A and B are shown apart, each in its own frame.
Chain A
Amino acid sequence: MTSFKTALGASAVALMAASGAAQADKLTFYCSAQEDWCQLMANSFQDATGIDVAMTRKSSGETFAQIKAESSNPKGDVWWGGTGDPHLQAAEEGLTAEYVSPMRDQLHDWAISQAESAGNKTIGIYSGALGYGYNTDLLAANNLPEPASWADLTKPEYKGHVQMANPNSSGTAYTTLATMVQLFGEDEGFEFMKGLHANINQYTKSGSAPIKAAGRGENTIGIVFMHDAVKQAVSGFPVKVVAPAEGTGFEIGSMSIIEGARNMDEAKKFYDWALSAEAQNLALQVNAFQVPSNKGAETSESAPDMSSIKLIDYDFKTYGSSDTRKRLLKKWDDEVSVLPQ
């Protein structure tokens, strides 16, 4: 009997423990970009400064959920990468800390305006324009003309060939919705979404899923950020990228310091370093086709040429706020998603 109790005790011991106080000179780094980019950032920072980096990669939505759940006893120090909306949301909820980096004067205006719209609690590190890509094989097999604009996608011949993510679950798709509202005006924008709805074969859950499906030949046209489509093409899939003729919106990949970070000094060091041209040039090594926020950093040759894309003046402050988002999503739910296809 005693031996059993000992076993029970021992297993109970294995069940529980606790962590103590943090040590100096280390950094807990939450990364929401692609895996190899995250690895490279972590290792390069470690080499440059000697600070021990513990990196965890999760999607931006997952990271936001984690930071929120951890808020009463924060475990992370800095959050780098991922689309701007969750970063803005985190700033709005006070989950991230205010910091004005001395590197600011090296950045593009859009990166700084991202920071200003969030009370300096986040900053832009890269940007990527919204667009779409199509599978050239499938398009040819179905004898479809090559689409070139947003309006083309609502034409009846593309019925059942277009895929986008559900704006309720994906930041990419919400950016699409907000872009249409800003590009065409709210009423016209929703008319466009309704026309698009008729052609959609599936609203995916994750933002980049439509273009991945297009790469594998499971879907013809996917509405995504253009750098995601470029990535498919570079990986060898028969995908062609389109910058819509009417102009388009864009995302700003962001970085924030977590409020109450245990290694605040290291987090700030990382923040400054990540804004430097040399750190942003690391993107060239890992097939990341976004446009870096440092004016001196280089952009990949395969990346979509931002100067030839008509970009709208995307209002991140208004469309990133939770009130506007809830209103637009509800309107989309009530007026668009219920229509027959």
Chain B
Amino acid sequence: MRTLTTEQTTHPVLIFWIIAGWVGFFLLPWYGVEDFFTFEWLIDGYPFDEDYAPAAFLIGQGEKLWLTPMFLGLLLPLLALGRRKTDPIYAKLLIAAGAIGFGWLILQGFTIGIRGWNFEWAKALFGELGDRQFGMGYGALICASAFLFLFTQGIAARGAINGDVFVVSAIGGVVVIVTAFVFFPIAKMLTAAFITEDGGYSAGVFASKFFDDRLWGLGCLSGGRCGVAWNSLFLAVLVGLITTVLGLIFALVVTRSGFRYKRALRALTVLPIITPPFVIGLALILLFGLSGSVTVFFSDMFGIQPTRWLYGLPGILIAQTLAFTPIAFLVLIGVVEGVSPSMEEAAQTLRASKWQVFKTVSLPLMRPGLANAFLLGFIESMADFGNPLVLGGNYDVLSTEIFFAIVGAQYDQGKAAVLAMVLLCFTLGAFYAQRFWLGKKSYTTVSGKGDSGVHPHMPRALSIPVLAMAMIWAAFTMVVYVMIFYGSVVELWGVNNTLTLKHYVTAFSFRIEDSGIRWSGAAWDSFWTTLKIAAIAAPLTAIVGLITAYLLTRQTFAGKNAFEFGTMLSFAIPGTVIGVSYILAFNVPPVEITGTGIILVVSFIFRNMPVGVRAGIASMSQLDKSLDESSLTLGANSWQTFRRIILPLLRPAILAALVYSFVRAMTAISAVIFLVSAEYDMATSYIIGRVENNDYGLAIAYSTTLIFVMLSVVALMQFIVGRTEIGRRMTQSRTNT
């Protein structure tokens, strides 16, 4: 089918990457340059100054000679020009060039660091180096990309994945970045589990920490306290189940009921994910705590003795359910909308009652959505840090234990690593349970064949409890948010209830002067930084996430399962571990990005990508492969198919990924604490600092502002991405009435 493209003698993609490689090697500074985009380095001694020189100039001046072998990787592909793609030498040349270039680049990067040789064996083998190198820069980056994609083109030319260059390159690209930014830092961190106090390695250390009674104790069955691991597991399963059910309820109300205020409901369900951490917890304390308004009301009216019931499992459960239901909703809405009405109509034509249709047709078809929603709720709960910290009481969970193993009085990174591994095992377990439950059935409902049906309404027996539940939950959410807003306009929360706007003034005041607007409020710096980082991270996250989802649902290749797990890994690990592992991995060459905005962007991309992947997989498993196939048969290549056929049908998933990653970038805290620097301070870390300092009013005013900003950004994204128009009748068909 792709004979047309393969017959071309010089492929434009090949030429592009050859040129890119040469540019990276001969033109761009090889090592990292501070403030690259001011381009001051251009007039500051480039191209001969050692700090700014491209690799070729360095070698030409007799410096950093170990970079030379990479030049071979740039020469070899030139021989492939003019050869046919079917020529076996073409493939061999590209594979060799890519492998030599990329392999050598990585090897030299890790063996030679800021203090010369990084390894004792290298020193023993070659003697003292007497030279060193700093972190790689854009020249190295472009070269690495060029080598990588030359390599994947070679693989494709050998016939892998039907010789599809786009798919092979996408797989190669995702594998490399996931390895670099997920596996590598996490592996670096987790090895701490095996390090003994005097610096050696030992499995015994791991075992003693792993089989600790505080981790696995079952005391709660006999009236005592259970281990942290069981606490976390129990909580996560509960949260996963409850959020999935609530998410489904909201999705059903929005898509399959005559409910009038769907838009308001939709907005309300989005609120909790755009709420900075701690805020929901503080609001719950103000409502249900020992001196909370609801508690005081009940104690005054009915003489009920106030208790601290909120602190512990009930409090965390309520807060996490509030916070994570929207994620389940976002995943489920696309799936519920996507279930094919014709199947439901067919069932009805065959005289099935509405209830039977729902139970035997609609619900089973929603299984991928349900499974993914549960998985996300489970993982989110496992990794959540803010809510257990505020409301946990004596109910310890893994995520907070990990945080305090690192920053607490014990300074025990090994313990943190062991706890993180336990957490990972749980996540892995949930992941495979999910796969097992879904089985190998097909959930495809959107096919190329016209499907102009309309979703039937829910059966009455279902719609009444569903609507009631949705209303109760919506009302509860509203109360919580009214409390939050109220907290931002009173003098001192819970003590002095005089209304005031002073917190907003402190945070966001500005003056208009001759020279323009002067942002004099205390919060502006972190506000702009946060907005900028989130705006950069969101589209990148969506792109990486959806390409990954496409590869996972549409392509088969060796190691796909491991690949899928790898993409979920960073999400399953609590932010604290990610934060510390990023410092460990990216504070030293070859990739030295701590203290920059880039490390924040990167951490957000890889922490939030899994939601894009999940949402993409859930939606794509509903799209019939015949759509792709007909596109391919008509002569389109897989990139065109992806862009023209799949992407437009994926709008709900794109929106979910964009919104989620933007919002999480603005509200994330646990990883960010370690990655912020003086220049790049984030809103959440500023808010936490304020909470620690008792400035509740300011912290909540800032959070409220963030909520409004994010609401408008989400609305804007919804407008830009648009809605998927699956050709369906606009009115209810007769069969439904």
Contact = CB atoms under 8 A, between A and B. Distances in A.
Interface of A: 1-2, 4-9, 11-21, 28-29, 34-36, 54-59, 61-62, 64-66, 68-70, 72-73, 75, 85-86, 89, 138, 160, 166-171, 173-174, 201-203, 205-206, 208, 212, 215-219, 231-232, 235-238, 322, 325-326, 329, 333, 338, 340
A202 to B, nearest CB: 5
B13 A73 contact: no
B374 to A, nearest CB: 28
B2 to A, nearest CB: 12
A159 to B, nearest CB: 13
B669 to A, nearest CB: 12
Choose among B51, B223, B678 the residue with the greatest number of A CB atoms under 10 Å from its CB: B678
Contacts of A218: 285, 289-291, 308
A217 B492 CA distance: 13
Interface stretch (B58-66, B407-415, B476-484): B407-415
A16 B591 contact: yes
Contact of B596 (A2, A17, A54, A169): A17
Given A69-B583, A203-B394, A333-B214, A16 B141 contact: yes
Interface of B: 12-13, 16-17, 20, 31-34, 36, 51, 114, 134-138, 141-142, 145, 149, 165-166, 169, 173, 177, 181, 214, 223-224, 285, 289-291, 308, 311, 389, 392-394, 400, 403-404, 406-411, 413, 492-496, 536, 540, 543-544, 580, 583-584, 587-589, 591-596, 598, 601-602, 605, 637, 639, 643, 673-674, 676-679, 681, 686, 689-690, 692-694
B203 to A, nearest CB: 21
Choose among A59, A89, A166, A217 the residue with the greatest number of B CB atoms under 10 Å from its CB: A217
Contacts of B677: 54, 56, 75
A216 B495 CA distance: 8
A19 B693 contact: no
Contacts of B593: 16-19
Contact of B138 (A4, A8, A13, A19): A13
Contact of B51 (A6, A21, A219, A333): A21
Nearest to A172: B409
Contacts of B673: 58, 62
B587 A17 contact: no
A15 B602 contact: yes
A15 B540 CA distance: 9
A69 B676 contact: no
A154 B235 CA distance: 33
A89 B676 CA distance: 23
Given A4-B639, A217-B291, A237-B495, A66 B588 contact: no
B674 A19 contact: no
A140 B302 CA distance: 20
Contacts of A237: 492, 495, 694
Contacts of B291: 138, 216-218
Contacts of A201: 308
A75 B692 CA distance: 25
A170 B394 CA distance: 15
Nearest to B148: A12
A54 B141 contact: no
A12 B602 CA distance: 10
Contacts of A203: 394
A263 B136 CA distance: 23
Contacts, number: 226
Nearest to A1: B639
Contact of B32 (A17, A73, A219): A17
A217 B289 CA distance: 8
Contacts of B587: 69-70, 72-73, 75
B15 to A, nearest CB: 9
Choose among B165, B409, B693 the residue with the greatest number of A CB atoms under 10 Å from its CB: B409
Nearest to A175: B409
A201 B31 CA distance: 56
Nearest to B589: A18
Given A1-B166, A11-B540, A238-B495, A36 B693 contact: yes
B403 to A, nearest CB: 8
A217 B293 CA distance: 11
B148 to A, nearest CB: 9
Contacts of A68: 411, 413
Given A8-B173, A54-B678, A203-B394, 4 more contacts: A4-B643, A34-B692, A201-B308, A212-B694
Nearest to B299: A141
A76 to B, nearest CB: 10
A5 B32 CA distance: 23
Given A208-B692, A216-B494, A231-B694, A20 B34 contact: yes
13 contacts: A8-B169, A12-B141, A16-B593, A17-B32, A18-B31, A20-B32, A20-B33, A34-B693, A160-B308, A215-B694, A217-B291, A218-B290, A231-B694
A5 B595 CA distance: 29
Contacts of A216: 285, 289, 291, 493-494
Contacts of B16: 2, 5-6
Nearest to A326: B410
Choose among B392, B407, B598 the residue with the greatest number of A CB atoms under 10 Å from its CB: B407
Contacts of B165: 1
Contacts of A325: 409
A208 B689 CA distance: 13
Contacts of B407: 59, 61-62, 64-65
B146 to A, nearest CB: 9
Given A70-B583, A170-B408, A202-B308, A19 B32 contact: yes
Contacts of A208: 692
Contacts of B679: 54
A65 B492 contact: no
A176 to B, nearest CB: 11
A18 B166 contact: no
Choose among A28, A58, A86, A208 the residue with the greatest number of B CB atoms under 10 Å from its CB: A58
B693 A5 contact: no
Q: Closest 8 A-B residue pairs measured CB to CB? A: A18-B32, A217-B291, A18-B135, A61-B407, A54-B678, A169-B404, A169-B408, A69-B583
Nearest to A93: B411
B167 to A, nearest CB: 11
B185 to A, nearest CB: 11
B556 to A, nearest CB: 22
A24 to B, nearest CB: 13
Contacts of B676: 56
B173 A202 contact: no
A5 B17 contact: yes
A18 B308 contact: no
B324 to A, nearest CB: 21
Nearest to B675: A66
Contact of A14 (B406, B492, B584, B598): B598
Nearest to B389: A205
B540 A14 contact: yes
A247 to B, nearest CB: 23
B536 to A, nearest CB: 7
Contact of B694 (A12, A160, A232): A232
Nearest to A63: B407
Nearest to B602: A15
A1 B595 contact: no
Contacts of B492: 235-237
A212 B31 CA distance: 48
Choose among A15, A208, A215 the residue with the greatest number of B CB atoms under 10 Å from its CB: A15
A38 B381 CA distance: 34
Contact of B594 (A75, A215, A232, A238): A75
A69 B639 contact: no
